[in-house]
Amino acid sequence: MKLSINNDIALTHIVTRKKQTFVAALGVTIGVAIYLFMNSLSSGFTNFSRDNIFQSNAHIKIYKSDELSKPLQENPKAITVIHNPQITTTSKTIINPQALLYRVKQEPYITNAVVQVDFVAFYNRGKTQIKGSGNGVNMLEYSNMFNTNKYMVAGSIQDLQGNLNGIIIGKGIAEKLSLGLGDNITVSSSYGVSKVLRIVGIFNMGNSLMDDSKSFVNISTAQQFLKENASFVTTIYANTLDADKTLGFVEKLQSLTEYRVEDWQTTNADVISGDKTRRAMMGAISLSILLVASFGIYNILSATITQKINDIAILKAMGFKGGDVIKIFVSEAFIMGIIGTVIGLCCGAILITIMSKVYMGPPVGYFPIKIEPKLFAQSFILGIFITFCAGYFPARKAANVDPVEIFRK
């Protein structure tokens, strides 16, 4: 054995006190496993809801927002009139959408942009009626952006292209109305327009909000439902280079147009703040558990030091420095920490694997948790760091032992 004498002593303490080592390492194991598991869970949920958001949201949307009339109209020369605030928007249209779309696409940070015409749709069959949302889109471009192609369970998106009497509906609508591919469906709008359309595709996004209400038609079909002309567009969707850096892009786009430019974080603020709260809570709870677990090392090392105070005194008499004593006891904590952390990571990985095989039912499907190397690295570093601290403080106490005081007793 060619260990340095400090490590040799540390290792001997560890080996001759197997039970204490085991208990201390077990604490760290549990702490690290829970920390890893909870953070993986939280990250899984965040990814899940993010994926959900991007099924129907682009990074940025541009639309005409409602304008409210001012309740007070002050007029220095006449009587001031007070009246109820009212929405003064007469039309939801974006004027000259193609020019705006073209301009938006020219921005270097925009990767893709599409126009869309939204309307409230009622799907009818016999006496059954389902309310939902109709989306007039260029299906190929739309699918490029939202990967709708991936979710098609019957028919194909190509069949809608240029087919003004075609419609793609969600699986939930198809099941409720017991309709299949090639069947006809009666769709009406809140403007009293009713059309019989042929189902050319069915999608299943695994999200009941979408599958039970959403449908796609061509842009001009949607315009007819709204009794609007061919330039009527409600929304422009745009994707950017980085979904997490949309703030700057929004500012730049807003300077191009008077229409409302909104990033996905704003649109989904409720979901995102829920995510943040969950992440913060899980992070705090798991960190506390890890901290508490590290007290095991602190306690056991403190006990070792109390018990071995004579040994420490004799080592110092023989010429070991304060720094050597710190090294000895920090190494002990470190060994326990490494053992505990590595086993903890293994336990965490097993837990995550088991959990990822648990089926939660729709709309979530399988538990949205997976092994994320980044979180493993984070848990490892944190586990080692915390055990290092838990070892350092008792070790420093040991380093300050005055041998003379011990020998006098």
Partner 1 sequence: MKNLEVVLSTKRLQKYFYEPIKFKVLDDVTFQSYRGEFLTLVGKSGSGKSTLLYCLSTMDTRYEGELNILGENVTGKKTDYLAEIRNHHIGFVFQFHYLLPEFTCLKNVMIPALKLGNRSYEEVEEKAYQKLEMLGLKEQALKPASKLSGGQQQRVSIARALINDPQLIMCDEPTGNLDSKNTQIVFDIFKQLSQEYNQTIIAVTHDNDFAKASDRTIELADGKIISHHKLFETSESE
Contact footprint for partner 1 (CB under 8 A):
1-2, 4-5, 8-9, 12-13, 16, 310-311, 313-324, 403-404, 407-408
Beta strands 81-82 and 72-73, pairing class: antiparallel
133, β-bridge pairs:
120, 214
Nearer to partner 1, 4 or 73 (CB): 4
Q: In the bound complex, what is the minimum distance in angstroms from residue 243's beta carbon to partner 1?
A: 56
Q: In the bound complex, what is the minimum distance in angstroms from residue 395's beta carbon to partner 1?
A: 16
Nearer to partner 1, 102 or 407 (CB): 407
Nearer to partner 1, 192 or 319 (CB): 319
CB 139 within 8 A of CB 160: yes
Q: In the bound complex, what is the minimum distance in angstroms from residue 300's beta carbon to partner 1?
A: 16
Assign 77 to helix, strand or coil.
coil
Burial 73-106 (b: 16+ CB within 10 A, else e): eeeeeeeeeeeeeeeeeeebbbeebeebbeebee
CB 36 within 8 A of CB 345: yes
Q: In the bound complex, what is the minimum distance in angstroms from residue 324's beta carbon to partner 1?
A: 8
Assign 153 to helix, strand or coil.
strand
Listing DSSP states for 315-365 in one string gives HHHTT--HHHHHHHHHHHHHHHHHHHHHHHHHHHHHHHHHHHT-B--TTT-
Give, to the nearest 10 degrees, the angle between helix 322-356 and helix 5-16: 50
Nearer to partner 1, 9 or 339 (CB): 9
Distance, in Å, from the CA atom of 341 to the CA atom of 386, rounded to the nearest integer, reads 10
HSE at residue 216, side-chain half, CA atoms within 13 A, is 32
Q: In the bound complex, what is the minimum distance in angstroms from residue 36's beta carbon to partner 1?
A: 35
Give the pair of three-digit tokens for residue 76. 């220095």
Nearer to partner 1, 59 or 316 (CB): 316
Q: In the bound complex, what is the minimum distance in angstroms from residue 339's beta carbon to partner 1?
A: 19
Q: In the bound complex, what is the minimum distance in angstroms from residue 20's beta carbon to partner 1?
A: 13
Backbone angles phi, psi at 23, to 5 degrees: -65, -45
Nearer to partner 1, 61 or 316 (CB): 316
Nearer to partner 1, 311 or 372 (CB): 311
Q: In the bound complex, what is the minimum distance in angstroms from residue 320's beta carbon to partner 1?
A: 6
Nearer to partner 1, 9 or 60 (CB): 9
Handedness of CA 374, 380, 382, 383 (dihedral sign): positive
Distance, in Å, from the CA atom of 47 to the CA atom of 13, rounded to the nearest integer, reads 45
